[in-house]
Structure 1
Amino acid sequence: MKIGLTQNDYPIRRNILNKVSGFEYIFLRKNNNLFHSLSTVKKILFRKKSNIEGKYFFYQKPKIDILHLYNDINYSSQKWVTSFETLVPRFTETKNDHQKTEPQHIHNTKTENALKQISRKNCLGIISISQASANIQLELLKNYPQFQEVIKNKLSVIHPSQEVIPRDSEEVYKNIGVFNFIFVGTQFHLKGGVEMIEVLKKLRQKYNFKLTIVSSFKTDHYVTKVTEKEAQETKEMLKKEEWIDIFENIPNEKVLDLIKESHVGLLPTWSDTYGFSVLEMQAAGVPVVTTDIRALPEINNENCGWLIHLPQNRLKQALYFTNEQRDELKRTLKLQLENILEDIFTNPQQLLEKSKNSLERIKENHDPFVFSEKLNTIYSKKINIF
């Protein structure tokens, strides 16, 4: 079977590429997408940009059996599947519905037409990478009852697969002299990096530890609203701290090596669709401190790690939409993180048990073979698209 892919970025490699053995994966050119071609012509002739986010129309060259998209909707007759991290369709009209104190959606024809495409027989399924995202999808469908049941039946939740990363945890956690913490996140401020540093600086007066940061310090424009200048200033300030090691733009293999040298992972994030770094840490037997928003409580818990409980709306989105909410989020995050770290320093014997439980959780819930079987079942659906 030939599976057509439209991108070769991290989400595709993490969730789709080569996940079913024996299948051939073909990367399609951008001009295989009619919407992309039309947008290019419009830009050349009229110097205007078209918003083609979330939309795909396949020309059917080269020959493939199934088109597997990520966060996109197919408008052609080609058989297709899409995986998503928040919801589909991912339009300006839909993608921020959940990012409100009270989630709400404004009914519109563009979204209605996209849902109609999902309801057609040539759509084999839509795959949410978490239950939290599935819930956001179901919330959208309430506004379009004519498609609700048929799309609900196509919706499945398949958490990403994760290989076990070999490490001798017994040796790592024996007679800890200096605690090694690790933070992995491209957007340092968005992932709670500033609040983390404030807490750790305070605890430096009492405890001996090191922190490894893997980040490119990219900014975000929808949550923390930190400027590029501010992000770079933060990075330069942290480089002056002798207890902090910073790594930028390193290959994943190097990241995994750094994880294996660590005792505890830190991801006190304000916003996150999933948390792939958490899986990699757990797969190496490194327990993680995370917040409890979106998918994170599905992949982390008090048995294998630690949870920071943030104020959030009913779709598990942290509340940061007003100045008061942001202040409360920061206060809550720092207070709970400090309490958790104090507990780790004073009770280090818990680390080995949480390490073992982290590894067992990965084996039980992210088995690559089980993931492959679930994906193959969706690919193998027999349908008559005419």
Structure 2
Amino acid sequence: MQPCDGSDFVHVVNRIPFGARKMICSFESHIPRKFGLAEDAILTRMMLNEITSNRCRRLVGMSHFAKRTALAMHEGTPAYDVIKAKMMVQHPNVELGREGDRLKDDDASRLVLTFVGGHFVRKGGCVAVRIAEKAIEQGLPIEVNIISSLKAGKDVWSDPTDPDFLKKYLDLLNLPNVNHEPGLPNEKARELMGKSHFTLLPTFEDTFGFSAIESMAEYTPVIGTSVCALPEVIYHGRNGYLLHLDQDELGEWVRPDKTERHTEAYTRIYHDTIEMLADEALEYLKPLIGNPEALAAMRADARYTAEQMFSAEVAGPRWDDLYERVSRESVRTPAVCDPVLDQSSPESPAFLFEDRPVGGI
């Protein structure tokens, strides 16, 4: 920001505004995002000074995964206690779809799955097209939509760099049960998700996975992986399915270091994991073919999750209350979250289903 911007109070996302009089900083994973900068770089020190100053009143993780990641980043440093004291969690929110359940009268005789992700490998596009190929091999009536710019390989920080690895999955885009769109406006993408029985997000590494909550806002359950923030969104068997990946203490997938991504061993792990995830997803999907009642229950639960946890209508008053409190706080005093007033978003959607019958019936 310009030092003379004149705003009394700003809220930024994945940014740190130099010169702000008072601020809230929301973040997806790391804060500050200093990728490529040395610990002792001038800009690194400037960003750290801003978020530890009294001008920064709250650090708001978009997920508990983001909070864990950020705290681990600063553990053992002089900044840790200051940063932890002002940190809270507020999940992103989304406008709810207004069209109702587009598959209300569908007989589920043919399942449609939609994958959305610019990073084709990292987000799980390889899993999506293998699901389609395995469905043909097994005679299953499954169609897969791919919305992706297909960015992958050496230009994506976590992908295997072997071009032969990528080519065999890109070739699967030509399968008769795969439809590829290089990109769609958000409105069209959400419409397509709403016309799908599931959205696919079998991601290997994600800060949140925004397509998951957009999908649920359109009544569509999600098949995702059990890493990062997705367990905070998906409750297995009710609003979607979680495919298993081994995780570390932060919730990230356990695999070789990314510095090894040019090696055959790294590529092999990706290949084997893609096969495992595709097989697991198909096992969840098979009993749902021709079972509209079970799908209707999951779709109702997906929409219920969006309404209760991720709707703009629910989030708006919470942000308004926080803005009002922060606007009254003095920058002469240290910023500290109130555990009652600054209530964090829940770590799991499980609470939604404790007393809710299947499908909300």
- How would you bin the TM-score normalised by the shorter chain? 0.7 to 0.9
Asked whether the 8 Å contact 1:311–1:329 carries over to 2, the reply is no
Question: Residues of 2 paired with 1:182 and 1:257: CA distance?
Answer: 11
In the alignment, which of 227, 230, 252 is matched to residue 317 of structure 1? 252
In the alignment, which of 201, 204, 213 is matched to residue 267 of structure 1? 201
Question: Residues of 1 paired with 2:99 and 2:320: CA distance?
Answer: 31
Question: Residues of 2 paired with 1:77 and 1:169: CA distance?
Answer: 44
RMSD: 2.8
Asked whether the 8 Å contact 2:28–2:208 carries over to 1, the reply is yes
Question: Residues of 1 paired with 2:93 and 2:52: CA distance?
Answer: 27
Question: Residues of 1 paired with 2:106 and 2:156: CA distance?
Answer: 43
Q: Secondary structure at the match of 1:172?
A: coil
Q: Gaps spanning 5+ residues in structure 1: where?
A: 1-31, 33-57, 95-105
Question: Residues of 2 paired with 1:167 and 1:73: CA distance?
Answer: 38
Question: Residues of 2 paired with 1:262 and 1:315: CA distance?
Answer: 32
- Structure-1-length-normalised TM-score: 0.73
Q: Which has the higher contact order (CA 8 A, sep 6+)?
A: 2
> Given the alignment of the two structures, is residue 217 of structure 1 paired with residue 150 of structure 2, yes or no?
yes
> 1:85 is matched by which residue type in structure 2?
E
Question: Residues of 2 paired with 1:366 and 1:314: CA distance?
Answer: 26
Asked whether the 8 Å contact 1:215–1:248 carries over to 2, the reply is yes
Count of aligned pairs between the two proteins: 316
Question: Residues of 2 paired with 1:226 and 1:173: CA distance?
Answer: 45
Counterpart residue number, 1:45: none
In the alignment, which of 75, 83, 87 is matched to residue 26 of structure 2? 83
Asked whether the 8 Å contact 2:28–2:61 carries over to 1, the reply is yes
Q: Gaps spanning 5+ residues in structure 2: where?
A: 258-264, 333-361
Identity value in percent: 24
Counterpart residue number, 2:346: none
Q: For structure 1, which segment, 347-356 or 226-235, has the greater mean C-alpha deviation from structure 2 after superposition?
A: 226-235
Question: Residues of 2 paired with 1:64 and 1:113: CA distance?
Answer: 20
Shift in alpha-carbon separation, 1:120–1:312, aligned structure 2, 3 A: same
Asked whether the 8 Å contact 2:129–2:169 carries over to 1, the reply is no
Counterpart residue number, 2:108: 176
Residue 173 of structure 1: CA displacement? Answer: 5.2
Residue 304 of structure 1: CA displacement? Answer: 1.1
Superposed counterparts of 1:208-357, under 5 Å: 208-219=141-152, 220-226=155-161, 235=170, 237-302=171-236, 303-321=238-256, 323=265, 325-326=269-270, 329-345=273-289, 349-357=293-301
Shift in alpha-carbon separation, 1:224–1:153, aligned structure 2, 3 A: same
Query: 1:159-195 deviations in whole A, cap 9, x for unaligned?
Result: 1112221344385354223221111111112122113
- Structure-2-length-normalised TM-score: 0.78
Question: Residues of 2 paired with 1:339 and 1:233: CA distance?
Answer: 23
Asked whether the 8 Å contact 1:304–1:358 carries over to 2, the reply is yes
Q: For structure 1, which segment, 192-201 or 167-176, has the greater mean C-alpha deviation from structure 2 after superposition?
A: 167-176
> Given the alignment of the two structures, is residue 362 of structure 1 paired with residue 295 of structure 2, yes or no?
no
Counterpart residue number, 1:191: 123
> 1:365 is matched by which residue type in structure 2?
M
Shift in alpha-carbon separation, 1:77–1:186, aligned structure 2, 3 A: closer
In the alignment, which of 136, 140, 146 is matched to residue 69 of structure 2? 136
> 1:316 is matched by which residue type in structure 2?
G
> Given the alignment of the two structures, is residue 152 of structure 1 paired with residue 84 of structure 2, yes or no?
yes
Asked whether the 8 Å contact 2:95–2:217 carries over to 1, the reply is yes
Question: Residues of 2 paired with 1:272 and 1:294: CA distance?
Answer: 6
Residue 209 of structure 1: CA displacement? Answer: 2.4
Question: Residues of 2 paired with 1:241 and 1:112: CA distance?
Answer: 51
Q: Secondary structure at the match of 1:176?
A: coil
Query: 1:81-101 deviations in whole A, cap 9, x for unaligned?
Result: 21110020111378xxxxxxx
